[in-house]
Amino acid sequence: MSSASNVASAAAVPAIALEEAAFGWPTGIVTRDVSGAFEQGSLTAIVGPNGAGKSTLLKGIMGMLKPAHGRVVRCPGPAGEIAWLPQAADLDRQFPITVYDLVAMGAWRQVGPWGALRGRHLRLVDEALQAVGLTRCTHWLIEALSGGQMQRALFARMLLQDAPVLLMDEPFAAVDSETIDVLMALIRQWHNQGRTIIAVLHDLDLVREHFPRTLLLARRPIAWGDTATVLSDDNLRLARKSCDAAFWG
């Protein structure tokens, strides 16, 4: 098989596929009947009303939740490695760690749990902090950061992780417009590099402008595909009705 055929075959394997997947908690199933694929190199937003199960689905894709039914299939090998950006509410901002050390944790996969950062990795930490505009905050404790600064630090950590698949849970929640512009520039850069990006988002205008593909969720998929088609008025009304919610949250 030619090298071109090998590349085409690799690209034909989805980064992540879901087969009748359902996820939930001991209190019950939150989202169900999820079947579809996130192709390698795709840029996808997951949207839906408050209580639609968006974060639950993302945690199931990440492997933090086991499927109650069905299964999640990741691309084998390095192409299936995932970097994870959690919700701000899931983070302990009181933990005594500096911005520099938080970002440096992204290199853990390369240096190991007991390895010391040297040479190249030290340069990468500095470059990541510069890319998100946090060079003056290097030695601050994370509890001193604003919401926008914290998201910048987490994006810098993802730069260090250098994973082909990036999962983000509400990356723009409670951040200023300048920070959104900086972080969207990084997302576009990652997308141009061929990385697979999946993000839970609430701003539908932002989704329409920047995300080619969308999964509209209301405890089960309402639509999944081209963003302009998915975010039709009919689909949005159906999603709200399905979740018994009259607002996005």
pLDDT one-digit tens code per residue, 102-136: 999 888 766 555 556 666 778 999 999 999 999 99
Nearest to 84 by CA among 3, 197, 174, 175: 197
- Confidence at residue 4, expressed as pLDDT on a 0 to 100 scale: 38
Domain with CATH 3.40.50.300 in the chain: 1-81+164-173+193-249
* Token representation of residue 140: 């601050």
* Token representation of residue 155: 């994006």
- Confidence at residue 12, expressed as pLDDT on a 0 to 100 scale: 76
Give domain 1-81+164-173+193-249's CATH superfamily. Answer: P-loop containing nucleotide triphosphate hydrolases (3.40.50.300)
pTM: 0.89
Query: Above pLDDT 70, what percent of the chain?
Result: 88
The count of other CB atoms within 10 Å of the CB of residue 242 is 17
- Confidence at residue 114, expressed as pLDDT on a 0 to 100 scale: 54
Residue whose pair of structure tokens reads 């988002």 in the numeric block: 201
- Confidence at residue 118, expressed as pLDDT on a 0 to 100 scale: 64
Q: Which amino acid is at 110?
A: Q
Could you say which residues of the chain have pLDDT below 50?
1-9, 245-249
Nearest to 106 by CA among 87, 122, 89: 122
